[in-house]
């Protein structure tokens, strides 16, 4: 029986490979399954026949005078062992079901990574033109962090359905994990693959309604072609991944792999290593951008903006590394480091009698950290700084979040006297409700409203009514991205409280800001005297 179990086990598990592929794409290999299970019952016939033969032998030997007890015991043993065989066989069947389950994704019910690896090599071996598409949702983490995992999950299911609806019966769609999906297209060259990529992207672009919130999703897609780019799944995956990463960096939708992407893939890995090093050595630096009072021209606050002073690549901007920080789960470390740098600088200014408030940006993920208010308190005390030396800028994404935790953390920061601004106001998941409910001091009007201010009557109307709204809620309004004198003057006329932007000053190192402030004071003194 033991030998039989071993031999029966291998055809059965072998069957699962193709059997699941059949479920995955409802086609080709499903036919293998009945065949394989028939051979399984053939295997079961062997012990059944053996049992009958054994019983027959016993019957004959009992006629030849063997003891009734011996024959009875031997017969019972045979019956029990064959019953056990049948049970073992059933268990194998159940293990088969489990193996099939192991090839599908719990959340979306789509085939998973294991299914891809079980299925695609055989298809590639058949030759012909094939395409592998890797798809990664843009800013999914933000949705997850700000609206909660349940909403994130619903979004993933919807995304899976929408992608699936764009594919043919012969195509294979799998969820690789997280917000990554792979599509294997058979008989498909570059053009067909790009058409599918475009169809999938436009299917994802239509708004999703999740718990009453309307969300838009978009994805970056990398495409690798066989035989052009490689003939093994491993190589295609790697190349599609590099193309996908390239697409993501450029926010460019989809991209067919090109050899130049290779070096980029290497860079990405190296960058992550370097990023870890940067966080522990002092490669992160802060630049400060002043916020000017539109009424009197005074500067009472600055925004701290992080830069990475890379040993080889020079000064890198947040757009070049923040996503990587987030992906690598290093945001908390970065926030901590930025806070230390910002508060060290605040201490320098305060010792000199310059009471500048430094605003630090918080990623949605850092604000899920309920230990933050206490740690910030300790950091302020260690530098003998008042709470007014610091404020936080958070985006609306966070505010719609886990509302309870949000107001708790904000409430505790606020109770310590630390002020809160809502960043990029107007472009996020705006809701008037949070403006009323949550403890906020300031709104920062996104620069996309400020930029078209000149000559655009509607933009002007939106800006002026946002300013009124802020004031009627007792909030201060700061305009971001003020790039010219006209916008500056118009915002002042509208009664906006503060302006920030290249027109006033770009973000600069603290030493440069010091000079700028000094020059401004002298100029002011000049105007007063004049
Ligand atoms: P943000 O908070 O909206 O910061 C303002 C961005 O607009 C900065 O880009 C700034 O350099 C840029 N800017 C300022 N004035 C103008 C202008 O007149 N015109 C235009 N077109 N742009 C202007 P930056 O420094 O590249 O930062 C980008 C984003 O990275 C920030 O957007 C913020 O969301 C994030 N960020 C920056 N530093 C940190 C940080 O320490 N922690 C976290 N979590 N995020 C950060
Ligand atoms: Ca900001
Ligand atoms: Ca902003």
329 dihedral zone (left: phi>0; alpha: psi -120 to 50; beta):
left
**Sign of the torsion formed by the C-alpha atoms of 353, 417, 401 and 459:** negative
**Ligand 3 center from residue 447 Cα (angstroms):** 7
The CATH superfamily assigned to 269-427+437-515 is EAL domain (3.20.20.450)
Pocket of ligand 1 contains residue 363 by CB under 6 Å: yes
- Taking the CA of 446 as reference, the closest ligand is 3
**Ligand 1 center from residue 305 Cα (angstroms):** 6
**Ligand 1 center from residue 355 Cα (angstroms):** 23
Give yes or no for a contact between 279 and 333, defined as CB atoms under 8 angstroms apart.
yes
What is the arithmetic mean of pLDDT over 128-136? 95
Please report which confidence band the pLDDT of residue 158 belongs to, taking 50, 70 and 90 as the band edges: very high
**Ligand 3 center from residue 250 Cα (angstroms):** 20
Phi, psi dihedrals of residue 137, rounded to the nearest 5°: -70, 145
**Ligand 2 center from residue 423 Cα (angstroms):** 5
- Annotated domain spans of the chain: 2-102, 113-258, 269-427+437-515
**Ligand 2 center from residue 314 Cα (angstroms):** 23
Least confident window among 158-162, 171-175, 211-215, 296-300: 211-215
d(CA 413, CA 387) in angstroms, rounded, equals 9
Three-point CA angle 451, 457, 463, nearest 5°? 55
Tens of pLDDT, residue by residue over 232-286, are 998 999 899 989 988 887 766 899 998 877 766 566 666 777 888 898 888 999 9
What is the arithmetic mean of pLDDT over 73-94? 71
What is the arithmetic mean of pLDDT over 351-365? 93
* Cα–chain center distance at 136: 8
Using most ligand atoms within 8 A of CB, pick from 286, 302, 305, 509 the residue to mutate for ligand 1: 305
Q: Which residues does residue 303 pair with via DSSP β-bridges, in sequence order?
A: 289, 359
* Predicted local distance difference test score (pLDDT) of residue 431: 65
Beta-carbon neighbour count of residue 122 at 10 Å? Answer: 13
d(CA 53, CA 60) in angstroms, rounded, equals 11
- What percent of the chain lies above the pLDDT cut of 70? 82
Residue 284: strand, helix, or coil? strand
Give yes or no for a contact between 482 and 449, defined as CB atoms under 8 angstroms apart.
no
Average confidence score pLDDT of the chain: 83
d(CA 241, CA 374) in angstroms, rounded, equals 41
- Taking the CA of 359 as reference, the closest ligand is 2
**303, 476, 505, 455 alpha-carbon torsion, rounded to 10°:** 140
Give yes or no for a contact between 291 and 480, defined as CB atoms under 8 angstroms apart.
no
Instruction: For residue 156, give the H/E element and its range.
Output: helix 149-165
- Taking alpha carbons only, the member of 2, 357, 428 closest to residue 213 is 428
d(CA 36, CA 29) in angstroms, rounded, equals 11
- Taking alpha carbons only, the member of 122, 213, 143, 227 closest to residue 397 is 143
Give yes or no for a contact between 183 and 219, defined as CB atoms under 8 angstroms apart.
no
* Predicted local distance difference test score (pLDDT) of residue 186: 93
Q: Which residues does residue 135 pair with via DSSP β-bridges, in sequence order?
A: 181, 221
d(CA 147, CA 364) in angstroms, rounded, equals 10
- What percent of the chain lies above the pLDDT cut of 90? 49
Give yes or no for a contact between 78 and 51, defined as CB atoms under 8 angstroms apart.
yes
Phi, psi dihedrals of residue 106, rounded to the nearest 5°: -55, -45
Pocket of ligand 1 contains residue 289 by CB under 6 Å: yes
- Taking the CA of 424 as reference, the closest ligand is 3
Give yes or no for a contact between 301 and 358, defined as CB atoms under 8 angstroms apart.
yes
Give the nearest ligand 1 atom to 424 CA. 3
Give the nearest ligand 1 atom to 362 CA. 44
For the domain made up of 113-258, give the CATH fold: Alpha-Beta Plaits (3.30.70)
Tens of pLDDT, residue by residue over 92-104, are 666 556 666 678 8
- Taking alpha carbons only, the member of 206, 172, 164 closest to residue 188 is 172
Pocket of ligand 1 contains residue 507 by CB under 6 Å: yes
d(CA 110, CA 128) in angstroms, rounded, equals 25
Tens of pLDDT, residue by residue over 450-499, are 988 887 888 899 899 999 999 999 999 999 999 999 999 999 999 999 99
Using most ligand atoms within 8 A of CB, pick from 361, 486, 500 the residue to mutate for ligand 1: 361
- Taking the CA of 317 as reference, the closest ligand is 1
């Amino acid at each position: 029986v033991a030998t039989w179990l071993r031999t029966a086990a291998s055809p059965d598990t072998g069957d699962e490979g193709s059997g699941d592929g059949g479920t995955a794409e409802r086609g080709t290999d499903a036919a293998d399954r009945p065949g394989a299970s028939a051979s399984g019952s053939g295997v079961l016939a062997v012990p059944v026949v053996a049992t009958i033969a054994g019983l027959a032998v016993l019957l004959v030997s009992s006629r030849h005078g063997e003891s009734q007890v011996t024959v009875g015991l031997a017969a019972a043993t045979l019956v029990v062992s064959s019953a056990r065989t049948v049970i073992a066989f059933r268990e194998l069947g159940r293990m088969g079901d489990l193996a099939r389950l192991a090839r599908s994704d719990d959340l979306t019910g789509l085939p998973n990574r294991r299914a891809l690896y079980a299925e695609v090599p055989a298809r590639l071996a058949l030759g012909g033109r094939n395409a592998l598409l890797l798809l990664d949702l843009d800013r999914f983490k933000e949705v997850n962090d700000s609206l909660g995992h349940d909403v994130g999950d619903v979004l993933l299911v919807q995304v899976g359905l929408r992608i699936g609806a764009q594919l043919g019966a012969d195509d294979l769609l799998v969820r690789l994990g997280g917000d990554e999906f792979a599509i294997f297209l058979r008989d498909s060259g570059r053009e067909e693959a790009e058409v599918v990529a475009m169809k999938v992207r436009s299917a994802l672009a239509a708004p999703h309604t999740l718990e009453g919130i309307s969300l838009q999703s978009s994805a970056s897609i990398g495409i690798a072609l066989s035989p052009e780019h490689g003939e093994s799944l491993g190589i295609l995956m790697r190349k599609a991944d590099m193309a996908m990463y390239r697409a993501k960096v450029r926010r460019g939708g989809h991209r067919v792999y090109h050899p130049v992407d290779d070096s980029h893939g290497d860079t990405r890995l190296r960058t992550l290593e370097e990023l870890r090093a940067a966080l522990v050595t002092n490669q992160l630096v802060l630049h400060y951008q002043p916020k000017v009072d539109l009424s009197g021209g005074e500067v009472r606050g600055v925004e701290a903006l992080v830069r990475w002073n890379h040993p080889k690549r020079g000064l890198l901007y947040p757009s070049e590394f923040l996503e990587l920080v987030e992906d690598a789960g290093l945001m908390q470390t970065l926030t901590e480091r930025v806070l230390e740098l910002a508060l060290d600088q605040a201490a320098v200014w305060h010792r000199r009698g310059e009471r500048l408030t430094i605003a630090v940006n918080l990623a949605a993920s850092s604000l899920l950290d309920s230990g933050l208010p206490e740690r910030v308190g300790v950091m302020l005390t260690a530098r003998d700084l008042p709470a007014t030396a610091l404020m936080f800028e958070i985006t609306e994404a966070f505010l719609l979040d886990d509302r309870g935790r949000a107001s708790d953390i904000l409430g505790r920061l606020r109770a310590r006297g630390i002020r809160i601004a809502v960043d990029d106001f107007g472009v996020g998941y705006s809701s008037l409700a949070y403006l009323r409910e949550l403890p906020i001091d300031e709104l920062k009007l996104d620069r996309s409203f400020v930029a078209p201010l000149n000559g655009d009557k509607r933009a002007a109307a939106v800006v002026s009514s946002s300013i009124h709204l802020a004031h009627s809620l007792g909030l201060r309004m700061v305009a971001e991205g003020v790039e010219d004198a006209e916008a500056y003057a118009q915002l002042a006329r509208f009664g906006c409280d503060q302006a920030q932007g290249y027109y006033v000053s770009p973000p600069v190192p603290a030493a440069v800001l010091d000079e700028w402030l000094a020059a401004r004071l002298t100029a002011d003194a000049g105007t007063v005297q004049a």
